[in-house]
A and B are shown apart, each in its own frame.
Chain A
């Protein structure tokens, strides 16, 4: 396993790699906040397709940032954390789609 990137989520707060072609990729990115408006690091963000089926999951960076490489269309983001959970629906298009998710107990 030296030439194939694995399945663990890359650093969520890192800048987009130069190899990512935003003409082709659909990036869904954003921040998870708690009821006090503070960013929640270590939250689990799940990407569900338009039928509600699980597609992918990442852990937010210490700054509460997450990022998915998806496809154009309707997606649901579901955040789970020790501060509670939250949901958001997004209609993604090609390029970068920025969103925010609030979690509450």
Chain B
């Protein structure tokens, strides 16, 4: 994977809005933005309603994912271009998800909705009707997904990258600063995790920094190239953004996203937690 295969620019997107075999998909947690205007021709996926299992705390299984994409009119051979708000957090999560279920050609729109808006590019409120397909998802590729026991075992043994803000990492905040802070789970971070906030990988307009800047960022933060890496945040979408950077843009091997992230880890009984700005000891 590389920038050329994983990412498209807003210019490319605007030129390919009607290209056959290309499907634009807006992914957000709050889909009211889509309803108010979206990239012409784009279909929507609701991160919460469409991508999470309605009962269990988990995401869709292979059959559910196949059904979702079939309903949205997305075929196995389509080029899927994902974008969204929040600097593409939820679109990056969906990208990781499409990869996990083995979709062939999936790309992120660099800068997402933000770049599109700041460039004053066109929106549409028309919801496209795409004929249903018979999408067949592959078995989940668990080499991309970390579970809690693996994360506990990775303390002091693998790269753990906490991509939340410094205040969340240190335990001074439990959630990003645009949300009320009333959650009850413990604060802090996983011992030995380095803190590289997701935002350091993005420019102000939401586009990704250059490969050179990104490589320097993680090297300076102490990411060990010889070790496997697990990225986490609070609910797994900001860490998808960093997973995308490490795996898809920089081409690192063995990078997993821990989508359980802090809402799971910070609620586990008996696991070690570190408070403060330093990674802490294993």
Contact = CB atoms under 8 A, between A and B. Distances in A.
Contact of B179 (A1, A7, A44, A80): A7
Contacts of B117: 42, 44, 81-82
A15 interface: no
A10 interface: yes
Interface residues of A, number: 37
A7 B205 contact: no
Contacts of A7: 29, 86, 89, 175-176, 179, 234-235, 237-238
A2 B263 CA distance: 12
Given A19-B182, A42-B117, A69-B181, A8 B90 contact: yes
Interface in A34-93: 42, 44, 46-47, 49, 53-59, 67-71, 78, 80-82
B199 interface: yes
Given A6-B47, A80-B205, A17 B180 contact: yes
B126 to A, nearest CB: 19
Contacts of B32: 11
B57 A1 contact: yes
B177 A68 contact: yes
B178 A20 contact: no
B273 to A, nearest CB: 18
- B33, B86, B118, B178: residue with the most chain A Cβ atoms closer than 10 Å: B178
Interface stretch (B13-21, B65-73, B165-173, B248-256): B165-173
19 contacts: A1-B48, A6-B47, A7-B86, A8-B28, A8-B86, A10-B179, A17-B180, A24-B181, A54-B165, A54-B197, A54-B199, A56-B178, A67-B178, A68-B177, A69-B178, A69-B181, A80-B118, A80-B204, A81-B117
